[in-house]
A and B are shown apart, each in its own frame.
Chain A
Amino acid sequence: MASKSRGKQRGEDIQQEDVFQAVVIADSFNVRFAPITNEKPKSLLPLANIPILDYTLEFLVTAGVQEIFVFCCHLADQIRTHIRQSKWSECSSCTITPVLSESCMSMGDALREIHDKSVIRSDFVLVFGDTVANLRLQDVLQEHKKRLQDKTNPQNKNSVMTMIFQKVPPGHRSRNKEDDIFLAVDQTSNRVLHYQRVREQSKLQIPVDVLADNLDVQLRYDLLDSQISVCSPEVLALFKDNFDYLNRDHFVKGLLDNEDIMEKTIHMCVLNDGYTGRVSNLQMYDTVSRDVICRWSYPLVPDTQTDNQGQIISHNRHNIYTSKDVMLAKGCVLEQNVLVGRGTRIGSNTRITDSVIGKDCKIGSDVVIENAYIWDGVTIEDQCCVDTAVICDNVVVYACTSVGPGCVLSYNVKVGPSVKIEARSRLQAAKDMDDDFGDELTEADQDAVSMINYGSKSQAFLHQPPEDSDDEDNDLVQDMFGLGIQSESSTEASSLSERSSDDEAMLDDEELFYSELLDTFVKAKEDNYNTENLILEINSLKHTYNIAIRDLYGMVMKGLIEIPLRDSQDLEPGAQLANVKKNFVRYKPLILNYIKSEESQLDCLHALEDFALSNKTVSTLLVKLLHILYDADILSEVVLIKWHNMEKEEEYKAIAKQVAPLIKWLEEAEEETSDEELGSD
């Protein structure tokens, strides 16, 4: 009986393994590459002179995929023609079918469409059409299948998706800021428990039950999401059922949140060797191009791939790739990581480093090109300077023009001569038409756009990104192309600055609260609030900003000192002090309401200390302030002495010295009183 069922199962296995299918989403449903993508779909943009889609298809075919469905919507015809003309059209081991749909607005729509066509019969690989990878998918597929066969563990059996990750430490250049993820995984079964995009947040929240319900949870922030996943056919059905799933994130989140109801699970696997990168924005375009040039993506490197015209490229020392018919004039230097396409001429004394240059380009003499991506048929005249830019097909850069970092020159743009193009400008050859969104550019805008001078022979217009970004994804992380010139030190520096900005975010609440508090005091003075109302207001503020009670004491005190000081900035110190004193008297009930216990007095003293450090006036007045507070019975001598005797850090020492006479006086006074008491006894 058992053997029979096993046999049967094996039969099924064979049937299932018959076809290894893949779905390629050849559209990113965003406008990161605008205006380039207005004319050419993103997946056909050249990466190291080969369309990105070819990398993806090559990867899938090498990985043993037999049937590929390429889903295209934006400019779908171009993709279809490209596939027809590509070398895979006669490929026997693999059939590639373009699926066209102009109406899709998201990846969810695309998968629903594919579900309707019911072409997917077994487990399939889901990738984006902008992936460069050389992973061994077969192993992942086997793992996924094995999991489904596992009868003992229902969680394994209900797995619908295996996500593929790679271990990449934070700060690595191939980590895309937009795709930074944080993951909670069950260590033994590799089941994904929690999946979250980090998006430069400093705080992450994990649902309690993730930690409570599982024994062996691993929290990981060292993974790069390859966005490649092995899926069961049910994934399509799930997308169909939940029409609000727009992308894979929604899907994963939906499944994880409703795990109990849907009874579906998601697993992950971490591949240690191999390369994966997604060209999701210009920054990543830069990174992935470099990786390809530096041969991390071997065998997907320029010299192993030939396009249908039989371009042969040779690989030389320092990763210099040149075609045979490239003409290099005397004195021109290709430093490192340079790819030069067929039929390109480069003039004398030109220096090129870390760049890709396409076919049939003409580059003049004394040109400096660094870190630039120059596509086909581009003309760059003498003495130009191009730094960190993308220059599309048939662009002309006239003599003595400098193209600043982060620039994008779209098709057929002409700039120059003798101008400097500002950093991060995106130029196109035609003016922005009224786009589909219907928000016409105002005339003032138009004027402003045409005002900028791109040289006498120029034909260029600034591209204005649509104001209303489609969804929250877009505006969160603007691509950093041209900003981060990746050297070790600068990444370190940026990570440092990030860290400090995190701290700022933490402080933010307190700062906001404090400024609000000051406003409240000012208003209270103007409108003559009574103390009770003021206390009420402060308390409610405290709750809104989630301020610890201990911080509150200090801040109230600080506020009460700062307001009168601010009002009497130009006055003599004596007058300022009088002002402060008046304020204390006025708000004494308020102070007493907060500062009652010894602890609160100590907190208040610490706050004053910090305040004195940051504010010069306060530090000069500190002793007198303390005296006033002591006289007003707000601070007791015991606390003052205790505070003074506490261990201090270096910076506070000066303050301690300053207040020493006061403390001494206090101590003496205390002794006297105790003496007197003794005497009276």
Chain B
Amino acid sequence: KKDAGSASGGKPEAAGANIKKEASSKDLSAASAVKKEPKRVPDHLKADDAETQKRIAKRLEKQRLPQRTVAQRKVRLFNHLHQYEREVSLTGSFSFSSGGIHPVIIKLGLQYAEGVICGSNARCLAMLAAFKQVIQDYTTPPQKELSRDLEATIKPYISFLNQCRLMSVSMGNAVKHLKHHITHMPNNLKDHEAKKKLLETIDSYIKERILLSAVAISKYVQDEAKIKDGDVILVYSCSSIVRKVLCDAWNQGKKFKVIVVDARPKMEGKEMLRRLVRAGIPCSYFMINAASYAMQEATKVMLGAHALLANGCVMSRVGTSQIALIAKACNVPVLVCCETYKFCERGQTDSFVYNELGDPDDLVFIGNKTPYLNDWRDYNSLTLLNLVYDVTPPEFISLVITELGLIPCTSVPVVLRMKQAETNET
């Protein structure tokens, strides 16, 4: 563990990417300045554009939602992304009388903001549970239609959640699904019937898309013998689906070892390690700077994903692409476990165009040692960048395991198209 792993492997790549990024962001800013094709760049990527900001602010005001203070110190390259200061209270401006936002949503938003609920699946499940509560408590006002009014009610909730923390792709897809069902709700249905139908929709979404998908993925891993006796499987950070797959394989009697690789600032690998050890799996634990040392004995790398993009890239917790790169260099196959509800039509070639910026202060704390970045705000030339996700290019990924089977990651558009057809049919 003490070996300072050669992290340099990733560096030239990153530098190269940097230049590319600069270029792309220049293109971006140029595009927004000239406004040739304003619709091509969505609002959430134009945090550096004053006019868009004004529009967003106005909309928030209309929805009676609090505005977050924009971070003062941002890395210049990332001006187009939203970044907020850590606030004492997000809900300080709410009054009891306003009654705008359902308390379940407020609670959920705070849990997102504080990082109590994190992880793509967990966030999506929590959101769906909250919306179930909202629908249960909803009554259509007289002279209004449920399909219209409920959608209007939910809209500010979603932008509130988005303010607390940027929505994940999984949440976006779930919301899209829910909205689709709300707007297509027949008008002749009675209130309670419509509500019942919506609740059923949510339940079946949770069951089919999230829970059963995990079971199916785990089964595919089993059936295709992707985990064999004597395997050493390297995992990175914490992923509910990878954990499930590993635990199921272990319970099936497969004898393998797991290497958990972890990184600051969130140290989510600790939780992963704890759960795997509790299941009885022999584990070892490395920090990401020793990943290349650990990789030498790994036979497979198994990763979770935040989203699978249309161009085949995998968006996941920052550090994942480095792991995949090292695995590629060591000729270790990289398997990504991902439910199809995390597939996304967006295409993205790097982690800079679109990403989430975490709180830079998270980087200050460095475990037991005395932090030396405490006063970083005093130095004008110093800015901290805390990216939450990164994008792994498809050539590093051997296989994606989904509930539809084992597919190459370039098949994402096919899956998306089939889904599209499916929804249109129903």
List residues of A whose CB falls within 8 A of some B CB.
Answer: 272-273, 317, 487-489
Contact = CB atoms under 8 A, between A and B. Distances in A.
B280 A489 contact: yes
Contacts of B278: 488-489
B297 interface: yes
A487 B280 contact: yes
B368 interface: yes
Contacts of B277: 488
B6 to A, nearest CB: 16
A210 B309 CA distance: 64
A639 to B, nearest CB: 44
A487 B280 CA distance: 8
Interface string B261-282: 0000000000000000110100
Given A273-B368, A488-B278, A488-B280, 5 more contacts: A272-B368, A487-B280, A488-B277, A489-B278, A489-B280
A272 B368 CA distance: 9
9 contacts: A272-B368, A273-B368, A317-B297, A487-B280, A488-B277, A488-B278, A488-B280, A489-B278, A489-B280
A487 B277 CA distance: 9
B299 to A, nearest CB: 15
Contacts of A487: 280
A398 B358 CA distance: 64
Nearest to B284: A318
Contacts of B297: 317
Contacts of A317: 297
For the residues of B in contact with A, the DSSP-based class is loop
Top 5 A-B pairs, shortest CB-CB distance = A488-B277, A489-B280, A273-B368, A488-B278, A317-B297
Nearest to A487: B280
Contacts of B368: 272-273
Interface in B299-321: none
A489 B280 CA distance: 7
B294 to A, nearest CB: 10
Nearest to A298: B2
A28 to B, nearest CB: 33
A488 B277 CA distance: 7
A168 B277 CA distance: 19
Interface in B336-387: 368
Nearest to B293: A317
Nearest to B369: A273
Nearest to B278: A488
B420 to A, nearest CB: 47
A488 B297 CA distance: 24
B281 to A, nearest CB: 10
A216 B278 CA distance: 37
A622 to B, nearest CB: 44
Nearest to B368: A273
Nearest to A273: B368
A272 B277 CA distance: 24
A488 B278 CA distance: 7
Contacts of A272: 368
A273 B367 CA distance: 12
Nearest to B1: A295
A434 B333 CA distance: 68
Contacts of A489: 278, 280
Interface string B241-279: 000000000000000000000000000000000000110
A321 to B, nearest CB: 15
Contacts of B280: 487-489
A249 to B, nearest CB: 32
A273 B370 CA distance: 13
A135 to B, nearest CB: 15
A273 B278 CA distance: 25
B188 to A, nearest CB: 45
Nearest to A272: B368
A361 to B, nearest CB: 27
A488 B274 CA distance: 10
B138 to A, nearest CB: 35
A272 B280 CA distance: 28
A273 B280 CA distance: 28
B273 to A, nearest CB: 11
Nearest to B297: A317
A274 to B, nearest CB: 11
Nearest to A492: B278
B317 to A, nearest CB: 26
B366 to A, nearest CB: 14
A303 to B, nearest CB: 12
Interface string B43-82: 0000000000000000000000000000000000000000
Nearest to B282: A336
A487 B368 CA distance: 27
A626 B277 CA distance: 54
A605 to B, nearest CB: 43
A243 B249 CA distance: 63
